[in-house]
Structures are given as structure tokens and as C-alpha cells.
Chain A
Amino acid sequence: MRIFSIKKYARYAIFIVASLLGYGWAQPGNAAAEKLVLTGASTIAPLAAEIARRFELQHPGMRIDVQTGGSSRGINDTRNGTAGIGMVSRALKPAERDLQAHTIALDGVGLILHASNRVSGLSRQQVIDIYTGKIVNWKTLGGRDAPITAINKAEGRSTLELFLGYLKLKNSDIKPHVIIGDNAQGIKTVAGNPNAIGYVSIGAAEYEARHGTPIKLLPLDGIAATVANVRNGTFPLSRPLNLVTRTEPEGLARDFIAFARSEQVHDLVEAQYFVPIGFR
């Protein structure tokens, strides 16, 4: 009993010392309860949580706490020190240059059509006209004589924001025929409707098309929607997924960011249909 309580006090003492010393006390393998807090983009949070779980397995005694709340919360919490690392699902704005961004993955969004649709490419203006209801028949675009079914994403999804940003539209300008939640539902809807057009994560669409789902990814402004073009930055509808820090990361934060950018987590990145950053 006595030995037990001494152990407990020892653990408290280690914890207090560790807290006082802060992040500088990183020693992998040590049983001290060290904690790193991540807050921000809900797009990144599931991936970050997976990476954190694997990181904790390799570094016993470390606790990584992942909370969502949006990219702007990630920026704020990092600035005021509430979070060690912020998650921001876009490139940093000029006003945010005081922070350091560490890209852990890329996310690309591609337009998909049914595989039987004869239309083989669309310009940005044509996409705008389809989604605002100015073009309502595939015949106008060189396809079959059939009405277009425009599929939009639900309010609040980051894919929607990226898409609207690319088209420079407001969501209330869009006249959709179907609104979907996740990528899988969008792909199923297009696969079941030869006259539908939708936009989903490129990774998810490539995976489904390779496994026989009758959909095809559309080149945008002449650039093929492929994971490769997202990785080399030429595809117009893509964005970086960033971990941001206030200063040059050190200690646990540095280790975690290095781990999240390493090849060891590429399978996790791909499982979420994001594009891993390139090898060097």
C-alpha cells in the first residue's frame, strides 16, 4: 500500500516537473505524461487523430489531444498559445505570415461525370454556367440531349468552400438538383445517373473508377484531375492541409510534425483520400 502511494506521488512529481519544464523535456520512451494539443480544421482532425494514435504507440507516455473547431480556431489557438499546433485546411493568408505552416498532405477536388457521358472536359466558365442554372442540357456542351443534374455539397463542408472559391460564387447562387454529404454518396449518385455532374475528393474518385464504378474524372481547364497533378500543384482545385506553429517547432511538437510529414503515415493519409506530400 505504502509502496503504491509512493509510486503515485512520484508520478505526480514527474508530471509537475514536466509541466513546469514544458515542451523542452521531450524524451521518447520516458513515462512522463507529456501533452500536445492540436485544434482546428475538421477536415484535418480525423487524419491528425489517426497520426496521433500511431505516434502515441511509438512514444509511450505522450498524450496528443486533437480538437476540431475550424481553421480559424486553429490559427487563434496557436497564436495565443492554447494549442501547441493548429490545423489549417488551406494555405496561410498574407496576414497569417507570423505563423509557420507545415504541410502534411494535399487535398484535391475533381468534377466527376458518368462514364457514359460524351463530354470530355469543361472550362471554369462552363462549370459556373452549369451550377448557376444557365446551361441546363448536355446538348449545349456537346453531349447527349438530356437535362443536367447538378450535385452540390452540403453547407459547411470544406470541399464546398474550395469549390465556391474556385468558381468565385456564393452558395445561394447555385441551383443544385441534389445535395450530398460525403464523397461516397456523391460517387454513388453520379454512378446511378448518366446525366449527373458532381465534385468529390480526387483520391476517392480515382479509387472508385479503378474498381469499376462507372464514373470519370473531368480535366479542368485542360489539366487532368489526377493525384499526380494535385501533388505537383498544377491542378487548380486543390489545397494544402497544414499544421501551423507560432515559432520554429521544438521538442514534442517538432517530433510530431516530422512524424506527420514522414512516409510512416502515408497509408493513413491515403486512407482518408488525401494526397501524401512527395518524397524527396
Chain B
Amino acid sequence: MRFRLSLLGVHLVLLVGGGIMAFPFYWMLATSFKSPQEALQAQPVWVPERIKPANWFKAARLGDSPLWGGLGPGRSAELFFPGPEGLPPRALVPRSPGAFFDPVADGTKVEVARGEGGWWVRLTNTGEAGFRRVPLVVLWPKGVPLEPPLPPDALRSQGEYWRLEWVNAVPGALGYVFHNYLEAWDAAPWGRYFFVSFFTASVQVAVGLFLAALAAFALARIPFPGKEAVFVLILATMMVPGEVLLIPNYVLLARLGWLDTYYALIVPWLASVFGIFLLRQFYLSLPQDLFDAARIDGAGYLTQLFRIALPLSLPGLVSYGIFTFLGAYNALLWPLIVTQSPEMRTVQLGLLAFVSEAGSDYGALMAASAFVIAPVVLGYFVAQRQFIQGIARTGLK
């Protein structure tokens, strides 16, 4: 019984700790689904309207496509507000755009008509082009019970009326749920940022791995004069903290004319002392007999490296790959220094720019943060064991 209790205690402590660790993720995701009014509440909203399934069905009926919504040319969408006859509600497409307003939606015609048991608000696209978003404001008389066809993104009081605001009255189900993600994605050339990040990180991993494998093999398996000196030199470079290199490497890149190019993001980080050490350790742990046998069969050093050592050191390669990729993908300071143009921005720089531009649109900001970390987190869930062991291996001497 005592044993069971202590086990319960362990679980309790771990759950509370894990909850604290996970909370920022939950809060990021929750906020990324919130409307601005929900996000800016003194009392936290735990479950935003946009992730309630009942609302998805409501949203699916609005707009041309049930998934992505939108309003094609000549098409119209109708919103039904049940209510008694009397003072009619007023509806308009707001003229004062928000931060990420789609200016095309200007040509929308808005009509309010009496139907059976309520009011119809009909939006008609009179223009030539289709819209993805049509913001809508409906003024609903106070004192009349309100049952909107889709929960409004903001509800304010305006004189005799309730002012109901929708950032998009034709969302479709996914357009409704992922509104902030779409806003954030459209606000900056994220595709380009992701390409730069992935490209530079992958090249760094691939070339770095190759160079480290060559050097590590020589240091572990080939008796050559001067080996000790090379080893001491490599050890010594390990003592130099990264920030010492910022200025001189910047000057070097400037003289090479490489600032603001892929070279600047890749080349300085190709040779990795950490990688050399890690792989050397691996090669040292392989039995010498393997190499002797190969030697007798007439294999040269290169054959030994590529046919024996490399395949056997796969865990080490994975470990180094994950570590280097994480470092490259998550880096901020170095890309910040050596790139200027938006075309060369990495994902992290894009996010940094977005942090200062997004202002109080925390929904979009959290959505951007979510998709910036998504590739790494997905990678973790796909290759969990490799991640954990790869990182754990960095601690072994």
C-alpha cells in the first residue's frame, strides 16, 4: 500500500511538472484559434469558439466551398438571424480595414430582408474577382433576443444596438477554424522563409556530416604524423565561444562579398568540432579486427571508411544530423547579422519581423509561432527515439 501511494505521488508530481512545461504550448495553440476579442480578455478563454465542432457546421454553410468558403463573382451568401418583426437589423461591410484586410471585398453588396421567423442578411459579390474573406458588421437592436448564425468574433455595444463583427462572414469550416493561420501565412512570404531555412539547414547537415566523417575517420583509424597536433588544435577551437566569431566572420564574409547570400548562412558552420568528436568516438568503438580484415582483402582507407565505418556509425550520424539541423533551423543571431533582404530571411527572422509587425493581433502571432515550430515537433513525433537518444548521446564523453 505504501508503495502504491508513493507511485501515485510520483505520477502526481510528474503530471503537475509536465503540465507546467506543456502549458505554453497549450496557450499558444489556444490563442492561435481565438478571435482578437477572445484573446484580449482579462479572464482567460480556455476553449475558443473556433474549436467547438458545433460552430464548424455553422461555418461550413457559409461561403462557396464548405471547407474553405470564399465568395466567387456573382455569388452570394446568406446569414439567417432568427428574430421577431420590428426594428430591422443593419448590416455593412466595414470600411476601416484591420491589419490584414482583403481590399477586394469592397465591392460586396449587403441586403437585409425579412424572412419567415427572422432576418436574412445577404452578401452578394458584384465584382469580377472572388474573395476569400468578407468582413461583416451587423447592428442588432438591443432587447431583441440574439441568435447569430455563427458566433461573432467581436460583440460590442453601440448605442441602441449590439455591434456584431465577423472577420470573415464566408469562411467555410477550415477557413473558420484556421482563420488566424491563414492571416499569418498571407501576411509574409513564409514559403520563401521555410525554403531558406530548410535548404541552408539541410546543406549544413549533409556537407557537415561528410566532412566530419572524413576527419573523424582519419583521427580515429589512420596513424599519420601530426595527428596529435591536429587533435589539440581541434580541442582548442572548442574553447572559443561562438560570440567571439561573430565580428571577424562578419568582416570575412563582407570581404568575400558573401553577405546576404546562402554562403553566409551555410559555409561558416560546415566544419563542426562537435561532429568530429562524436563520430571519432564512434569509430574508436568499432573493433579493429573489422578494419584489419578489410585491409587484408585489399581495401584502401577510403573503402574502409565508406563501406565499413560509415554504415556502422549510423546512430552517430543521426545524432549529429538532428543536433545540427536543430541548431541551424532554430538559429536567430547569425541569420540576423548576415542577411538583410527579405528573400534571405530564415523562418526565425520572419517570425521576429512578424512579432514586431503583428502588434496586438496575438491570434495571428501565435499561429505563426505554431507553424514555425511545427516541422521540428512533427519530426520529433515521427522519430522520437532517434531524437532522445541523439540528444542523450551529446552528453557522453
Same assembly: no
Residues of A within 8 A of B (CB): none
Residues of B within 8 A of A (CB): none
